[in-house]
Structure 1
Amino acid sequence: MATALVIGSVLGGTGVAHAGATEIPKGFLLTEAKARKGVDPDFKDEEWWTVSDNPSRRLELNPCRTKGKPRDGRVAMRTITHGTSAPSFSSEQLVLYRNTKSAKAAFVKLQADLKRCPRATYWYFGKPLSVGDQAMSVAGYSYKKRKIDRSISPVMWAVARRGSALFLYTDFDDHANRHGVALNERGRRKVLTDQAKSMAKKVCDLPVGCG
């Protein structure tokens, strides 16, 4: 199968006429418009965004803390991160692979790593989600004396694959309700799942093999 991705003449909802091979169109990610707008300079020490198209960046869920240049068949990648001095953190990441087989292998490896790399002070728990072709909700908890340390908020993820696209959403106390109050675990999981569902539909504007 050819490794080049040829993006159609019109991408639904993106306003992009065309893009070069292996590119993710500018503005394609859910949080991208806000990220590229940036923050008021007066608040630059309290809130920040980053946008990266580096294909060698690690996946935002990396249970085994793997280092080195990935060689998993990816052909394009965009990562958007948001942080505050609270502290809080969230991210959105879209990875396009050369074929569905490579994307599926990357997802399966993440599932295996969750079980393979437990640590004495940090544990991951994952459960299936009904999103795309494969998906899971993951929570990472700090442990103390073999019990969850409830004084430390867990990091949460929604990871999904559709065709040859893998997408990840991360949250560490960065999502709040309309009053600005941090959401509980259930609320954060719902936000992440909803984001993954939105991207599962959106990636079908790209030639990733949506069935």
Structure 2
Amino acid sequence: MVFGSALGGTGVAHASAAEIPKGFLLTEAKARKAIPPPLDDEEWWKISDKPSSQLELDPCSTKGKPRDGRVAMRTITHETSAPSYSGEQLVLYRNATSAKAALAKLRAELKRCSRGSYRYSAKPLSVGDEAVSVTGHAYAKGKIDESSRTMWAVARRGSSLFFYSDFYDRGDSRDRILGDRALSKALAVDAKKMAKKVCDLPGVCA
């Protein structure tokens, strides 16, 4: 498919409301570069455009094909042998009502499925139209396993929903793993960038 005029301020090709242009996600340029040896045996990037994929934050381990009104989706993940993991996901819905319903459902699942050996805590985040900062921890004998911490920033802007997640993947300038507060802030910064960027897609923020 040939795209038309460039999107204002993004440097990527124009697309319809049901398309995510190549190169649009924040981590995409890095994810599409070949990893030279020997690092290619230590870290892996994956890019998927399958709209049938589950959401990056899936507290109830959803099964089956999603039927929530999504029309386009891109998921980028980064894994290392450390092990560590981070993810970026953008989901476009047919309208803002569908996107809002998807986030509401996710919030309900965070409460309903936060039990047993893995639990979630969530708090409001000032990003886009609505957002939430989430931390997940494994529990053993009633105590938090500090080595299991995963964090997410989840936000909605118009008819889009986007996710930023990290499990011991992001470090500071000295490669020291970020603490909870610094990581939460870093994920929120990424979400704020996408909240602004996604409005360059036709109809998303209209």
**Which deviates further from its counterpart, 18-27 or 96-105?**
18-27
Cα distance per residue 1:160-194 (max 9 Å; x no partner)? 00000000000000000011111111111111000
**Which deviates further from its counterpart, 8-17 or 28-37?**
8-17
Instruction: State the secondary structure of the residue aligned to 1:154.
Output: strand
**Which deviates further from its counterpart, 16-25 or 154-163?**
16-25
TM-score (norm 2): 0.94
Instruction: State the secondary structure of the residue aligned to 2:46.
Output: strand
User: Is structure 2 residue 171 aligned with structure 1 residue 176?
Assistant: yes
**CA RMSD of superposed structures (Å):** 1.5
Q: Work out the CA distance in 2 between the residues paired with 1:146 and 1:32.
A: 39
Cα distance per residue 1:72-91 (max 9 Å; x no partner)? 00000000000100000000
User: Is structure 2 residue 135 aligned with structure 1 residue 145?
Assistant: no
The residue identity in structure 1 corresponding to 2:160 is A
Cα distance per residue 1:126-180 (max 9 Å; x no partner)? 0000000010000001112222123x23110000000000000000000000111
Give the direction of change, closer, same or farther, for the CA distance of 1:118–1:21 in structure 2 (3 Å limit). Answer: closer
Partner in structure 1 of residue 155 of structure 2: 160
- Equivalent positions of 1:1-211 (< 5 A) are 9-20=5-16, 22-150=18-146, 152-210=147-205
Q: Indicate conservation of the 8 Å contact 2:17/2:204, yes or no.
A: no
Give % identity. 67
Cα distance per residue 1:15-65 (max 9 Å; x no partner)? 334335611000000000000013113222201101110110000100000
Q: Indicate conservation of the 8 Å contact 1:162/1:208, yes or no.
A: no
The residue identity in structure 1 corresponding to 2:194 is M
Cα distance per residue 1:88-121 (max 9 Å; x no partner)? 0000000000000000000000100001112311
Give the count of matched residue pairs.
204
Give the direction of change, closer, same or farther, for the CA distance of 1:8–1:88 in structure 2 (3 Å limit). Answer: same
TM-score (norm 1): 0.92
Runs of 4+ in 1 over 6 A off after TM superposition: none
Instruction: State the secondary structure of the residue aligned to 1:54.
Output: coil
Instruction: State the secondary structure of the residue aligned to 2:31.
Output: helix
Instruction: State the secondary structure of the residue aligned to 2:193.
Output: helix
Specify every segment of 5 or more residues in structure 1 that has no aligned partner in the other structure, as ranges: 1-6
Specify every segment of 5 or more residues in structure 2 that has no aligned partner in the other structure, as ranges: none
Q: Work out the CA distance in 1 between the residues paired with 2:121 and 2:101.
A: 20
Q: Work out the CA distance in 2 between the residues paired with 1:154 and 1:21.
A: 35
Q: Work out the CA distance in 2 between the residues paired with 1:193 and 1:17.
A: 26
Give the direction of change, closer, same or farther, for the CA distance of 1:190–1:21 in structure 2 (3 Å limit). Answer: closer
Instruction: State the secondary structure of the residue aligned to 1:104.
Output: helix
